[in-house]
Amino acid sequence: MNQAALSAIATTVRCLSMDAIQKANSGHPGLPLGCAELGALLYGEFLRHDPADPAWLDRDRFVLSAGHGSMFLYSLLHLAGYGITLDDIKKFRQVGSKTAGHPEYGMAPGIETTTGPLGQGLATAVGMAIAETMMAARFNKPGQTIVDHYTWVLAGDGCMQEGVAMEAASLAGHLGLGKLIVFYDDNRITIDGGTELSFTEDVGARFAAAGWQVLKGDMYDAAGIRALVADAKRDQSRPSLIALRSVIGKGAPTLAGSHKVHGAPLGPDEIAKAKEALGVDPESQFHVDPAALDFFAGRRKELADERAAWLERYAAWRSAEPALAAELDAMLAGRALAETSWPAWDQGASVATRAASGKALAAAAVAWPQLVGGSADLTGPNSTQLPGLPYARSNRAGRMIHFGIREHAMAAVSNGLALHGFRPFCATFLVFADYLRGSLRLSALMGLPVIYVLTHDSVFVGEDGPTHQPIEHLAALRAIPNLAVLRPADAEETNEAWAMALARTDGPTVIALSRQNLPVLPKADPVWRDTVRAGAYVIASTKDEPDTTIVASGSEVALAMEAAKLAVGKSVRVVSVLDRELFLSQPAALRHTIVPPGSRVVACEAGRSMGWDALADDFLGIERFGESGPGAQVAAHLGLTAEALAAKL
């Protein structure tokens, strides 16, 4: 790319960004104006991609972690040929537009992940970079390389201040992800003003300490940036941070370098003067330089040739490696490679659902080679051990990831793995769902089938006390749209929970599991494994129509069955509710076959009552924080007993 083409692209990015934000009367012009030249280099030279096939398996991934600067991305996708039209740009931030306020995965080709919550993009990109190494280790063969791409990120000061980014950066450095390259837009401005208000640390030193190669340069020195990228690519043992000193809002005559240009339209007068300085008609709207279009027309031909060469290699690989090709096809289609042989359990056996989950996970891992993941330093307590050596810089073929005590980054990394086609799981205690909630919410928003294994699901955790005893967490998780929350009552239901989670392709699943042993319960419904796909089933029935129905989840199902026996003179049905929100979404006719409408309904769960009123007339649970002591004693102290439930009947 010559300097004239680079300038034409940068000018177009600036003009489109200024006009779209002004028309919407909303947006963030500072980053697109400040980083326009870098965008030209990224899409014009650095990225290996093909707009004609946005889902090309071996494309480079670009993540705009500073997602508020979304017009930077939309402008470049328009120029590069990804199908974002000028009309789309004119509808920036409008209902139904492809050009949402922050990049939304699935809204338009070329948007690799949803960004906006700062730091999330960088953390998700770490997952993408891990995925690239995993795929390369699995599928590349000597002389046959089909996976060999980079993950690129543009992050700003906001990303660097969010904890999730540093959690992920620490993991990336430890793992030596040499094909991860992060550009740091070092403009030293945030919404409130200069970063000196709250942020004076040496970011480069922090990343260097985490095991990164740190390079520094000038955002507007194209030759220098090319040299820095070459340096980054030469070091395959470390991820690279390229810190580029920049001017926020560059080109805005009175606002450049000010926090005022971060998140508000420039105004007509400022835009007119900026365009005039750029050599553009001040009266023009949504200016696109023909030289920029001409450049990308030629660039698309070059990129198409690169992909065509790859397709030839890919066809040869498929012919030579049919078993690996079948595995890759299953992975990309989101299906198992074989039937899962779920563990069998004897009725009356006593086993914690977390232990049963570990057996189910091991069985699923055989049928689902793309199932990968791990826990936040709780492999034993979460029962999430996978066979073989763990994933590491010395073993890219490993399937189990030691995430370390980094819950938030763990979930974001899992999103990155899912975006590459893996079926990731991650695990911690249920109470620490608060630490990963931001990333989990993005799993749900993007519709990614991440499986969250959350154990120690109630006050039966016991002696660890109220800091570790979840009370409000099930209610809080159920409040997230498009998140399935499954709480199995016993080992058999745990198998079904895993089967349901793996069958889900359009969103994440939480499997909440007990620390304490639970009995494998008799099931009144002979086809309960089918019925439970509706979210609930009758686990203990009556000869006649019940006058009372207990609906319960998890460990409280066994408690409900005890209470039913204590309720002398009552005809009591017990319903196990594996997924409450799924059950509530069923047609009334189906729900009434399980919970009769003429029956008094009492719900029981070791947590807050929120949401149960949609199903039950009364509730036994826990509306306060717990206590430290043996689990059964804590539950009795808090009134969660079969006797207390029977009294409510």
Neighbouring CB atoms inside 10 A of 88's CB total 19
Separation CA 482–CA 396 (nearest Å):
32
CB-based contacts of 432, cutoff 8 Å, min separation 6: 376, 407, 454
Separation CA 522–CA 303 (nearest Å):
61
CA 541 to chain centre: 40
Counting Cβ atoms within 10 Å, is residue 235 exposed (0-12), middle (13-18) or buried (19+)? middle
Which of 37, 112, 167, 407 is flagged as catalytic? 407
Separation CA 371–CA 361 (nearest Å):
9
Separation CA 606–CA 460 (nearest Å):
9
Eight-state DSSP code of residue 46: I
Separation CA 302–CA 149 (nearest Å):
17
- Phi then psi for residue 519, to 5 deg, are -75, 145
Separation CA 453–CA 374 (nearest Å):
9
Give all strands (DSSP E) within 196-341, no chain letters.
213-218, 240-245
Q: What letter represents residue 496's amino acid?
A: E
- 201 flagged as catalytic: no
CB-based contacts of 312, cutoff 8 Å, min separation 6: none
Neighbouring CB atoms inside 10 A of 200's CB total 8
CB-based contacts of 536, cutoff 8 Å, min separation 6: 551, 575, 576, 577, 578, 579, 580, 583, 594, 595
Separation CA 428–CA 18 (nearest Å):
44
Q: Which residues are catalytic?
A: 407
